[in-house]
A = this chain, B = another copy of it.
Amino acid sequence: MPRPKEYQQEHVLDRATECFWQHGYTATSMKHLEQATGLTPGSLYNSFGSKDGLFLACLDHYNDTVIGERVRHYLKPAIREYQEAPLQGIENFIATAFEPGPAELCLGCLMVNTSVELGPHEETVRQRTTEAMRKVLQGIQYSLNGAQAKGQLSSTVDYRQRAQSLSLMFNGMLVQWRGATDKRWLKNAMTSVRELLMSN
Contacts and interface: CB of A to CB of B under 8 A. Distances in A.
Interface of A: 24, 26-27, 106-108, 112-113, 115-117, 119-120, 126, 129-130, 133, 160-161, 164-165, 167-173, 175-176, 178-182, 185, 188-189, 191-192, 195-196, 199-200
B115 A178 contact: yes
A50 to B, nearest CB: 17
Contacts of A126: 179, 181
Tell me the interface secondary structure of chain A in the complex. Answer: helix
Contacts of A188: 160-161, 164
A181 B116 contact: no
Copies of this chain in its oligomeric complex: 2
A26 B172 CA distance: 23
The residue in A26, A168, A173, A192 that gathers the most chain B C-beta atoms within 10 A of its C-beta is A168
A168 B173 contact: yes
8 contacts: A112-B116, A113-B116, A117-B117, A120-B178, A133-B176, A164-B188, A169-B169, A175-B175
A130 B188 CA distance: 17
A195 B170 CA distance: 17
